[in-house]
Chains A and B, each alone.
Chain A
Amino acid sequence: MTDLSLSSLITRFAALSRRARRIAMAAGIVIIGLFLMALFGSAGEPDPAGGPPMVRRITESQYRASIADIFAADIPVAARFEKPVRSDGLIAIGTGASGMSPFAVEQYDAAAQGIAAAVLSEKRRGEFLRCQPKHETTFDEKCARSFLTDKGRLLFRRPLTEAEAAKYVELARNVQGRLGSFYDGLELSLYTMLISPEFLFRIERIAPGDGDGTGTLDAFSKASRLSFFLTNSTPDAELLRAAEAGELEYGWGLRRQVNRLMVSDRFAGAVRAFFTDMLQFDRFADLSKDPAIYPAFNSDVATDAQEQTLRTIVEHLITEQGDYRELFTTRDTFLTRPLGVIYRTPVPTRGGWDAVTFDESANRAGIQSHVSFLALHSHPGRSSPTLRGYAVREIFLCQHVPDPPANVNFTAVELGAHTKMVTARDRLKRHATDASCAGCHKVMDPPGLTMEQYDGLGAFRTRENGAVINTAGSLDGVDFDTQDGLAKALRNHPETPRCVAERMYKAAVGRDIVWDERYYLDWLIAGFEDDGYRIPDLMRRIVLSENFFTVTRPSAQPAGRIAESGTRSGGRI
């Protein structure tokens, strides 16, 4: 048998030649290094910088998903939610920076009443209560406590404190005393939970620790951050269990939960929510088109256009595990009959979706050639190279274009917008004679001018007001005159993957990046490239990074949580 004792190994090592000893030592160092890297986390992640813990209002889609997950998908949420606030390009950031209006409180109240009434209705209470009182008129404290602590844990995304549990049980008891029904008491307590800030806001808390520097979120805050990022919904019972058991503090425990959440059906919902936010689809609520000019536009088209792009994204990024950059060149998509009218494509399925691949003759490539982008970034009565170019830069490249000057003169653009033989290029040429406008238009218009092949709704055209459209355009030094050219320029633009990685991280933590996170962001983007620009891998990389749960203790960040200006990396305008 081979002797592997330490003394035997030392003896053998000493017997080696000088050169062999060097090689053996080097190999040993490499092995120890790899072992340490495996032990202490991802290779090359910079020291975690973190940012402030956040208080974020849950979005409408998160509210609805939470209610569906905690109770049932058919529990009605009868309310009109307040228009969300977008900050730094994302509602995900705006939720941490905006207040709440009286209208919103009113609507939360209405939604809570409806949900509580539906959950505890005679018809459905059996689905949600694991116990029942002997008589409806007698108060069963054990049963009330069981229901309220169980649902309260899911609603507040943490176990109720003893004081909270006692408060809600006592409230239920008092209400029963007045109204006579055990279930009326539970209903009011549930309603009270649903209007509590603990439900309506994601309140992140720091784990106890020493010092003024950085710390980590506590286990339940970690669970929330993880769940909302990977499922766009509240943590489920299993995730809360893992948090309570301390499993999220360990790599193996965290990976197990991440793997579980990323293979769940809810993961696609998170990707959809992120891109709904990034692509600014909330603006469809205010989108209008002149029916005389764009007769094919209606509410079905507005809804289907968003869904078309989201289906394309989910298919490409999740089902096909595709390269993010190819979202800008893909010809695969899905259509309904109302959309078929605009794309001039037959759609055999009634009331449903057909998978479609655009032929080269269809002049469509990438999500930027979808109606959802083209119609959203146009005027009600005409297309706009400027709005589209602005959107390309702001949304896909994270480049900031300054707002127009307050005294801008639109006369040259508006006058004769529909005059015979006049195109948008002609109008913009006149407008660009104003020096205060020309600077920004030089940046915005060139990519938008190629998109002039589509009218203000997104239908393909070759002429505007009778004149042949000149589709020559450019993007940061790359010239093109076709949709294919624009698609390739966007795909190959270095800022394209950088932008989505940055946005993804910001959405995950709900804030802009802080100065010290710039190295982390570079590391994230390098990893995104290594992973073939696959979005699920990027999301996994974010949640498994140390920085994801790292927060600065309040005393270390007296200036507030939003980054200093100019902290974003990358070459921007």
Chain B
Amino acid sequence: MVHASVRRKGLVYAGCGAAVLVGAALAFTLVSPDRATARSGSFVRDGEAGFVVTHFAFALGPDAAKTGGCPTGMSKNVAEIFGETPAGQRRPGEGDEEYGQRVEAGGQSISASPDGKNFCMHPELAPFEPNTRILTSVNAPAEGIDLDNQVSRSEVDARRGLLDFTGVDGAEGVDNQFWRLVGCSRSFQENGPSNGFEVEMYTGSWGILIALRGVDDLKNDDHVDVGIHANADPIQLSPTRAALEYATYTMDQDKAFRAVTTGWIENGVLITKPVDVRFHNVVNGMHLERPLRDARIRASLSHSGVLKGILAGYTPVGDLYDFQFAYRNGKDASGAPSAMGRRLGSANGAARVLGHTCQGVYQSMNRLADGHPNPKTGKFTSISTQYRFEARPAFVIDGEAKNADDKAGLQ
């Protein structure tokens, strides 16, 4: 009996002791500050590496003037088209201002259907537009990579406008129909205003993050996990507006703007398997989406953490028309459709300034589409599109981080 009593007492004491210890541990956990650990070293830490895209532009090719790729000249806008008609000729005694106004009015008249429907908003209503030029040259090179493992150089391919390019680096089978589409547009020549997105990216309108996991060797690694995400934070810049390295960015919380694939590193070049990606795009305050189907990266990875190369895939024709040329589905910051006046004005204004017609590019891109054939009709629904990019080390984190009171979890 005595032994049992002592044992019970011991158990009670042990229980109390354990409770005190557990309580103390719990209290320590609760009161100890939420403190992260900071380390330094290479841009690869525990096999993980993050990047922020600092340069992003369409991968195109040398100017048409250098390659002779546009023997019938460059694409024209509606005012230029009207100006070449008999009605568009300057009348005797007509002043510059008066003539200019008449040409603009004439241009607008060929921008809409007889019942007043604007062709930028309704390109399918437009008659064939013969003044839009595409890059027909067989010899013009292009930047980019081979997307379909085929070298399309047959006469049939040539007739259909589906010739593969020879790469600027000599590679065969480069699929870059977007360059064929805009190769004869003056705004997409080397110094053209459409050839790059730094202005939007650097004002924080949108951005792209790349996250690698499972990196064992920067030279050769047979498996790495790769995330390609829209950036939810504005890019951090220096006073001279250069992108900063090692800044922290949160990946977009909308799953539609996050993609994960796998890849490998071969002789210092990161190569990824195809995955559908989607980025944000902002034009004139209109929020748009930039999708890229079967997108893949081929980019060199330096020891200092600079990832530089190509992001290539296929853009659905309708999407490409909308985010690049017509902004039909532009939204305001709240997600509501942008005012029709803004969409209409931006599309027609861009076409006028950049030197094309909405209906012309729409017809051409449908003709040049080379990806994702419709299973029923066999008609291609997407157009090969390649971007060249450069990305620099960054900390890519996941989670909500709306304000200073919220925390995002480290990826």
Report which A residues bind B (CB closer than 8 A): 291-292, 295-298, 332, 335, 337-338, 340-341, 343-359, 361-364, 460
Contacts and interface: CB of A to CB of B under 8 A. Distances in A.
Contacts of B236: 337-338, 341
Contacts of B408: 348-350
A356 B38 contact: yes
Contacts of A295: 238-240, 242, 244
A501 to B, nearest CB: 29
B3 interface: no
Interface string B245-266: 1111010000000000000000
Given A298-B239, A340-B246, A350 B40 contact: no
Given A346-B410, A354-B36, A357-B35, A341 B246 contact: yes
User: Which A-B residue pairs are the 10 nearest by beta carbons?
Assistant: A352-B404, A295-B238, A346-B395, A345-B38, A355-B35, A359-B39, A348-B408, A291-B239, A344-B246, A362-B40
Interface string B363-397: 00000000000000000000000000000000101
A573 B103 CA distance: 85
B37 A357 contact: yes
B410 A352 contact: no
Interface of B: 33-41, 233, 236, 238-240, 242, 244-248, 250, 395, 397, 399, 401-410
28 contacts: A295-B238, A295-B244, A297-B239, A298-B238, A337-B236, A337-B247, A340-B247, A340-B395, A341-B247, A343-B40, A344-B40, A347-B248, A348-B36, A348-B250, A348-B407, A349-B401, A349-B406, A350-B401, A352-B404, A352-B405, A356-B35, A356-B37, A358-B38, A359-B38, A359-B39, A361-B41, A362-B39, A362-B40
Given A340-B247, A346-B410, A359-B38, 14 more contacts: A292-B240, A332-B35, A346-B395, A348-B36, A348-B408, A348-B409, A349-B406, A350-B406, A356-B38, A361-B40, A361-B41, A362-B39, A362-B40, A363-B40
Contacts of B37: 356-359
Contacts of B239: 291, 295, 297-298
Contacts of A364: 38
Contact of B407 (A340, A345, A349): A349
Contacts of B39: 345, 358-359, 361-362
A340 B40 CA distance: 11
Identify the interface centre among B239, B240, B406: most chain A CB within 10 Å of its CB.
Answer: B239
B399 A348 contact: yes
A364 to B, nearest CB: 8
Nearest to B42: A344
A343 B34 CA distance: 19
B38 A357 contact: yes
Contacts of B233: 350
A48 to B, nearest CB: 42
Contacts of B41: 361
Contacts of A353: 404
Q: Classify the secondary structure of B's interface with A.
A: loop
Contact of B34 (A296, A298, A347, A355): A355
Nearest to A460: B40
Nearest to A296: B244
A335 B38 CA distance: 10
Contacts of A343: 38, 40
Contacts of A354: 36, 407
B248 A296 contact: no
B402 A350 contact: yes
Nearest to A319: B33
B403 to A, nearest CB: 6
Contacts of A358: 37-39
Contacts of A344: 40, 246
Given A337-B247, A362-B40, A363-B40, A352 B34 contact: no
A481 to B, nearest CB: 17
Nearest to A338: B236
A519 to B, nearest CB: 42
Contacts of A351: 403-404
A349 B36 CA distance: 11
Nearest to A335: B38
Contacts of A338: 236
Contacts of B406: 349-350
Interface centre among B34, B36, B41, B403 (most CB of A within 10 A): B36
B403 A352 contact: yes
Contacts of A341: 236, 244-247
Nearest to B398: A348
Nearest to A332: B35
Nearest to A362: B40
A297 B35 CA distance: 25
B407 to A, nearest CB: 5
B406 to A, nearest CB: 7
A345 B35 CA distance: 13
A58 B250 CA distance: 44
Contacts of B395: 340, 345-347
Contacts of A348: 36, 248, 250, 397, 399, 401, 407-410
A341 to B, nearest CB: 5
Contacts of A352: 403-405
A332 B36 CA distance: 10
Contacts of A363: 40
Contacts of B409: 348
B88 to A, nearest CB: 51
A337 B401 CA distance: 12
B396 to A, nearest CB: 9
A329 to B, nearest CB: 16
A311 to B, nearest CB: 12
Nearest to A355: B35
A58 B382 CA distance: 71
